[in-house]
Structure 1
Amino acid sequence: MTPDRTAATPRASRRRRDNERRALRLDGTSLSARRVASVVRTAGPLDLQTDHAALARVERAARLGSELSTRRTVYGRTTGVGGNRDEVVHREGTAGRTSHGLRLLRSHSGGAGERLAPEIVDAALLVRLNQLLTAHSGVSPDLVLALAEAVRRGARPVVHRLGAIGTGDLAPLAQIALALAGEGAWDPATGADPPDPVTIDAGDALAFVSSNAVTIAEAALAAATLDVVLASSEVVTALSYRALGGSPEAYAEPVHRARPHPGQVRCAARMRHLLGMEGTPPPGRRLQDPFGLRAFPQVNGPALDALEAVHRVLDIEINAGAENPMIVLSVDDAYHHAHFHTAYVASGLDHTRACVHGVAELSVARLGDLVEPEQTGLRAFLADGPPGSSGVMILEYIGHDALAALRQAALPATLGNAVVSRGLEDHASFSTQSARATTDVAVAYAHVLACELVAAVRALRQAAAEIDPAVPIADALSRACDVLDPRTDDRPLAEDVAAATSLVLDPTWSHL
């Protein structure tokens, strides 16, 4: 019998990895932000399973919520919400309770602004489903099952951008709930049939929208993009190091052992790996390099540490019972609280963006070194033509433009505040705006790095630099050379920057 070698082919291996990424079991306790991004960004049908024990707890919590509503005041179930918290909702008859829930969703479904990106909506559905499986909301099992079916089928409600300030994604989640109830719109672009509509009871409406699932979803996707871009920053810096003839002393293990901040140590170790410095590397051209090379671990390290902290925060939020009021099965009661406030998310994202800005400044500094003959030994601006040729001069302008956009997006969202609902809700985290800004920072930094990458590759080509194929950056350089135009005459560089940006955002290139 001829052995089957299919599994050994790269295509088969990639297909197997994709299948693994699209197989998901949710139990309300073990979903991570990185897993959310991986599932959403991998094509193909989703093999979704929901934990039976978690669903049983959801059913028990729904019964407890209904029972509590008959013997005590429960915010949003027997009362209005926000400034209407003292308004009693009539409890007579199922129709009245259903009407209250639908009125609440209709009134909160803002539907303003542009539509959310499809991957954010898909991630939000996944996050909200996992949160509901913690069984602290008291929503009906039918609503949870309908949401699970939507995720499983790939059906996507139409959700708009505006309507949240970090104290609950009220408007976006109300749109999702109305779609599940049969009143909202579904995106026809998915080609998937939506689940059958479900009945919304008084206990379902506030419980479903009492979450920051949409904000958390965008933050998870932005953090996953930054995972890739920060890894790419090390690859790009390593290429610039070779083009500039950097000094290995700045990355040496004894140096970073003496001040062992985790991210800094990780960064220096990866630079040694990328550059093949495990042995005794040759000395650089200079006794001390400019900061763009010399201080890279000290500046990139805080960004790595900040991003890891954000992932820890998001992992907690994704598996949190954050609904207000919270149904607690262990004590047969409900608690009113402030878990809707997402200061941890907002401050973590703000801190990460500030750190990324610092690393991006080093990138444009290295770009300035790459066009300087004293640093490279090559012509000014890496020009290769008649006297006065501009070479890659325009890359500095593109890079600084992208850096300026990054700088604006890096401003802290937590410095804002809002007082709403007749003064009852007198503070907001603005984590929603912080998540959006983090998405912008990730993209802007990719553009900054792309400019440096184009210049570094041109410098290495012009210097006819030889890199040992066993050194990891040799593969990165080879792939970059495959997509970057080798011509060095004065010409438009837009396509080069676009190709370099795609590389910087490609995890198979960044994670060597």
Structure 2
Amino acid sequence: MENSRIVIDGTNLTCSAVARAARADVTIVMAAEGAERARAAWKTARALAAEQPVYGRTTGVGANREVGVEWEDADAHGLRLLRSHAAGAGPLVAPEIVRAMLTVRLNQLAAGGSGVDPGALDALADVLNLGLLPPVPIYGAIGTGDLTALASTALCLLGERAWLPAADGTRPRGPGFTLRSADALAFISSNAATLGESALAVSDLRTLLAASTVVAALSHFAVRGSDEPYAEAVHEACPHPGQQEAAAAMRTLLAYERPAPARIQDPYGYRAFPQVHGPALEAAGYAEAVVTREINAAAENPLIDVPGRAAWHNGNFHTAYAGLALDAARAALFQTMALSAARLGTLSEPSFTGLYPFQGATEASSGIMILEYVAHSALADVRRLATPAALGSAVLSRGVEEHAGFSTQSARATTETLGAYRIALGCELVAAVRALRMQGRAPSAGPLRAAYDIAAGSLDPRVDDRPLDTDIAIAADHLPALAGLL
């Protein structure tokens, strides 16, 4: 089936495809045009290295860039480079991030610009299809190259380092590809791990932002909110694209519900939802565009220019664009997540729900009281993680590499942020569905009714005081399905 295949051609990889390659049972297929671009770059790189200095092929790296590699030492130089750089530390990153890294690096090589032996493309595709995982520790990159992660991968390809054990405890065998010494630096000079995690984060962010709109609409219905804040005229008067998108989505979700509003004006969690959620939608869209551009780029140093028959030494390895885009997305996400926590507060308040405080079974019951604590605990982490990673810098390699954007840390912070956001949305969804059940109400039709049915179909209907941890987990698991309704 077409959905079970992902074709890698070096030009058309999407963030959602990276997520599928990382998480789903798919087959990776190399496109002929990608393999041909890689082959042409490889031939050009070999010819150029025989005629002139080419960084990493005929020279050392970093501050050793002026040190030439003697021809009799050429075969050993690349292996020493891989061994010295495969020195990450700390716990291993999640398997899905490793698979995302492998997918992105494969696509980058297919873009044609690295000069790596084209056999590496088939080898990486085999690694993905066989489910092999190189050990990739969490610490080792700062946004200017995932050298430790890719050096570890290269040593696994060479058979010098073991792949991680399979689920049954066995040590799997690799595809048997031998990376040439001259290609060592070209293979590892990439931000594929950072960009792979960024692609996963962007894909998840788009899903959770869509789910958040659905959950907000359920809360709006539960508190009998006014739909005036979502009127077209309001957003034509202040026409930010994300704001208009959020308002239009709310109009769609609430189209079948026309109850008289309970108040002339609602709290910000409802009234200012488009104005706060809109920036997050725009930030996510920009981040997705940036990351998509990066994962399809021949961002190699040096860039092997086949038509121009040149090796261009450059700074395309620097992922400042991706890091800054993710920094902005986390800041915007914190704002809309704070509104979710505010809406959760209204769902605990009798004046908004017509129920006992905290939707308790009795006036003295605690009901959903603890959900606010959980949501604000998650929100506190997002506030901490929203600090821009780009505010840091570093001077490395004897002063030659005198800047870093820390996009790697930005990607990691975004992954952690999304985990917290997911929990907070789960809390709001539990509260909204419970309120509607206790009110004896449900949306009448359309996507909002479908959302209610999905959540109510599995959430525990009991309202007596009891642990709500399972409810939160179930609600959070339903968020992708809710996002699909839009």
Q: TM-score range by the shorter chain?
A: over 0.9
1:26 corresponds in structure 2 to: 8
Matched, 1:415 2:394: no
Q: CA deviation at 1:261?
A: 1.4
Deviations 1:80-110 (A, max 9, x none): 1001111111123xxx322111100100001
Output the amino acid matched with 1:234. T
Aligned mates of 1:47, 1:396 — CA distance in 2:
43
1:5 corresponds in structure 2 to: none
**Aligned positions of 1:89-100 closer than 5 A:** 89-92=69-72, 96-100=73-77
Q: CA deviation at 1:440?
A: 0.8
Matched, 1:451 2:427: yes
Output the amino acid matched with 1:172. A
1:56 corresponds in structure 2 to: 36
1:158 corresponds in structure 2 to: 135
- The secondary structure found in structure 2 opposite 1:155 is coil
1:230 corresponds in structure 2 to: 209
Matched, 1:467 2:449: no
Equivalent pair of 1:167/1:428 in contact (CA under 8 Å): yes
- The secondary structure found in structure 2 opposite 1:188 is coil
Q: CA deviation at 1:236?
A: 0.8
2:272 corresponds in structure 1 to: 295
Aligned mates of 2:384, 2:131 — CA distance in 1:
35
Output the amino acid matched with 2:17. R
Matched, 1:327 2:304: yes
Q: CA deviation at 1:464?
A: 0.7
Deviations 1:347-372 (A, max 9, x none): 00000000000000001111111111
1:76 corresponds in structure 2 to: 56
Deviations 1:355-394 (A, max 9, x none): 0000000011111111111222221111112x42211111
Deviations 1:186-210 (A, max 9, x none): 1222679544333333331110111
1:341 corresponds in structure 2 to: 318
Equivalent pair of 2:163/2:174 in contact (CA under 8 Å): no
Equivalent pair of 2:157/2:179 in contact (CA under 8 Å): no
Matched, 1:47 2:27: yes
Aligned mates of 1:384, 1:406 — CA distance in 2:
32
Deviations 1:120-162 (A, max 9, x none): 1111111100100111001112222212221232222222211
Equivalent pair of 1:382/1:391 in contact (CA under 8 Å): yes
Matched, 1:202 2:181: yes
Gaps of 5+ in 1: 1-18
**Aligned positions of 1:361-440 closer than 5 A:** 361-385=338-362, 387-440=363-416
Matched, 1:479 2:454: yes
**One of 252, 276, 283 as aligned partner of 2:231:** 252
Aligned mates of 1:209, 1:48 — CA distance in 2:
21
Matched, 1:211 2:190: yes
Equivalent pair of 1:162/1:172 in contact (CA under 8 Å): no
- The secondary structure found in structure 2 opposite 1:501 is helix
Output the amino acid matched with 1:50. M
Matched, 1:185 2:162: yes
Deviations 1:4-40 (A, max 9, x none): xxxxxxxxxxxxxxx4332121111111112111232
- The secondary structure found in structure 2 opposite 1:232 is helix
Aligned mates of 1:149, 1:269 — CA distance in 2:
45
Bigger mean CA deviation after superposition, 19-28 or 167-176: 19-28
Bigger mean CA deviation after superposition, 349-358 or 248-257: 248-257
Aligned mates of 1:328, 1:156 — CA distance in 2:
31
Bigger mean CA deviation after superposition, 295-304 or 156-165: 156-165
**One of 495, 500, 509 as aligned partner of 2:470:** 495
Aligned mates of 1:56, 1:477 — CA distance in 2:
51
Aligned mates of 2:367, 2:31 — CA distance in 1:
59
Aligned mates of 2:404, 2:251 — CA distance in 1:
44
Equivalent pair of 1:181/1:200 in contact (CA under 8 Å): yes
Q: CA deviation at 1:482?
A: 1.9
- Count of aligned pairs: 483
Equivalent pair of 1:402/1:445 in contact (CA under 8 Å): yes
Q: CA deviation at 1:421?
A: 0.6
Matched, 1:221 2:200: yes
Q: CA deviation at 1:473?
A: 1.2
Output the amino acid matched with 1:508. A
Output the amino acid matched with 1:51. A
Gaps of 5+ in 2: none
**One of 223, 235, 255 as aligned partner of 1:276:** 255
- TM-score w.r.t. the length of structure 2 is 0.96
Aligned mates of 2:172, 2:467 — CA distance in 1:
46
- The secondary structure found in structure 1 opposite 2:166 is helix
Q: CA deviation at 1:116?
A: 1.4
Equivalent pair of 1:99/1:201 in contact (CA under 8 Å): no
2:118 corresponds in structure 1 to: 141
Equivalent pair of 1:367/1:455 in contact (CA under 8 Å): yes
Equivalent pair of 2:6/2:17 in contact (CA under 8 Å): no
Aligned mates of 1:421, 1:332 — CA distance in 2:
30
